[in-house]
Amino acid sequence: MVLREMGNRMMHRIFVVNWWQAFLKAWESSCGAKGMATLVIPANYQFLLSPLMLKGPCLASTIQIQLQGKLVAAEKNAWPSYKYAWILISNVNGLTVDGTGGSLDGFGSSWWSCTNCQRPSAITFNSCNGLTVNYLNIINSPKAHININNCVGATFSGITIQSPADTHNTDGIDVYASKNIWIKDSTIACGDDCIAISGGSSYVNVTGCACGPGHGISVGSLGNGKSNTVEQVQVRNCNFTNTQNGARIKTYAGGSGYARGITFQEINLIQTRNPIIINQFYTNTTQSLKNGGVEVSGITFRGFRGTSMTNAAITLNCGPQGCFNIVLDRNNIVSSQQGKPASCSCKNAHGTITSSLPNCSCLLP
């Protein structure tokens, strides 16, 4: 179904009406079709859109959404009530979203100054298995740009995300409770984690992604909820430029769960703060200790190259239970500040180091 009702005479015009009802009708037609269905959002149009929920399960065996035009979120004061996401796609299997030529504008500037507001994400995929999202361009989300929640088997490729560096909690892509996820060949500039891999997630692969500005690629935070496990994560061939962190694992003091089987390799750094960091005292600046802690083990940092904006190139700040099987292999991180050496600091960290700079003599066997 082509979402076009006004004809060619309306080309290039911005629609000032709210297209929520037309989108919902088009979705119901596509979802209820027999066999394969395609929903086209046409080029050269801009659609003003209130919060939208596209729900399955669908009768259609597969659905393709072709986003060729531009969707613009209604401003904050026009929302009837708080919603978790501007666009929520839920319980739709075999979905393909092709964003070639189109874009999503979350109009986050109408939200960012409201520090006490519950802000929505731009788009959330919930319980969508066999999902493919290509060439999606998203700008200025009120909060996270993409949420992947409770999905099995999803590929995100050629994603472009952009929001200002000083916008709080505007993560690029957040992965929650999902398995067999690929994120590749994407460019993310935002005000928080470029990619965050959170509790209940496993077998997540990130490759060929560029991050900056932002807070790097993070595993966690873990230990502050019911689902506190992440395992089998591979991050490879990624670039961090002027980011607050590079590769980060963050857990709450005294939490439970584990982060294990995680590898960051072939990482390029340009003036990155905290290029490698494990922080088991996340949000706890006093580092007061509690019983227990999230298990962090089997973590590999290999082939990091480039510059650290501060001398703190490697920080392994583990809780009293310790982090184990940490591998530092063939890294070469130097300070971008002339005449200042890059350094490594450790606390309760156990592992091995091979052919790496800076030297982490503090790493325990």
> In the structure, what pLDDT confidence band is assigned to residue 18 with cuts at 50, 70 and 90?
low
**Rounded Cα–Cα distance for residues 108 and 254 (Å):** 35
The predicted pLDDT at position 3 comes to: 60
Question: To the nearest 5 percent, what fractions of the chain are helix, strand and coil?
Answer: 5, 50, 45
Phi, psi of 90 (to 5 degrees): -130, 135
Comparing 1 with 281, the larger pLDDT belongs to 281
Q: Based on the number of CB atoms within 10 Å of its own CB, is 270 exposed (0-12), middle (13-18) or buried (19 or more)?
A: middle
Read off the pLDDT of residues 234-278 as tens digits, 9 standing for 90 and up: 999 999 999 999 999 999 987 889 999 999 999 999 999 999 999
Q: 193-365 falls under which CATH superfamily?
A: Single-stranded right-handed beta-helix, Pectin lyase-like (2.160.20.10)
The predicted pLDDT at position 344 comes to: 97
Task: Of 83-92, 122-131, 219-228, 257-266, give the lowest mean pLDDT range.
Answer: 219-228
The predicted pLDDT at position 290 comes to: 52
Torsion of CA 139, 144, 146, 151, to 10 degrees: 180
Arithmetic mean of pLDDT, 213-225: 93
Res 160 pLDDT > 70: yes
**Rounded Cα–Cα distance for residues 63 and 93 (Å):** 8
Phi, psi of 161 (to 5 degrees): -130, 135
> In the structure, what pLDDT confidence band is assigned to residue 13 with cuts at 50, 70 and 90?
very low
Q: Is 12 a catalytic residue?
A: no
Res 283 pLDDT > 80: no
Res 284 pLDDT > 90: no
pTM: 0.94
Read off the pLDDT of residues 170-208 as tens digits, 9 standing for 90 and up: 999 999 999 999 999 999 999 999 999 999 999 999 999
The predicted pLDDT at position 340 comes to: 87
Q: Which of 98, 171, 193, 215 is catalytic?
A: 215
Res 11 pLDDT > 70: no
The span from the first CA to the last CA of the chain, in angstroms, equals 62
Percent of the residues in the chain that have a pLDDT greater than 70, as a whole number:
92
The predicted pLDDT at position 185 comes to: 98
CB 44 within 8 A of CB 78: no
The predicted pLDDT at position 12 comes to: 34
Mean model confidence pLDDT for the chain: 92
Parallel, antiparallel or unpaired: strands 187-189 and 160-162: parallel
Q: Which of 98, 171, 192, 193 is catalytic?
A: 192
Arithmetic mean of pLDDT, 25-39: 93
Comparing 10 with 202, the larger pLDDT belongs to 202
Parallel, antiparallel or unpaired: strands 229-241 and 201-207: parallel
Phi, psi of 42 (to 5 degrees): -70, 155
Res 4 pLDDT > 50: no
Task: Of 160-174, 243-257, 280-294, give the lowest mean pLDDT range.
Answer: 280-294
CB 187 within 8 A of CB 210: yes
CATH 2.160.20.10 domain locations along the chain:
193-365
Q: Where are the alpha helices (DSSP H) in the chain?
A: 20-31
**Rounded Cα–Cα distance for residues 261 and 22 (Å):** 46
- What one-character DSSP code corresponds to residue 253? T
40 SS3 class: strand
Task: Of 33-47, 147-161, 264-278, give the lowest mean pLDDT range.
Answer: 33-47
The predicted pLDDT at position 30 comes to: 94
Q: Is 171 a catalytic residue?
A: no
> In the structure, what pLDDT confidence band is assigned to residue 287 with cuts at 50, 70 and 90?
very low
**Rounded Cα–Cα distance for residues 196 and 13 (Å):** 37
Q: Which residues, listed in sequence order, are joined to residue 16 by a DSSP beta bridge?
A: none
Task: Of 110-114, 284-288, 304-308, 357-361, give the lowest mean pLDDT range.
Answer: 284-288
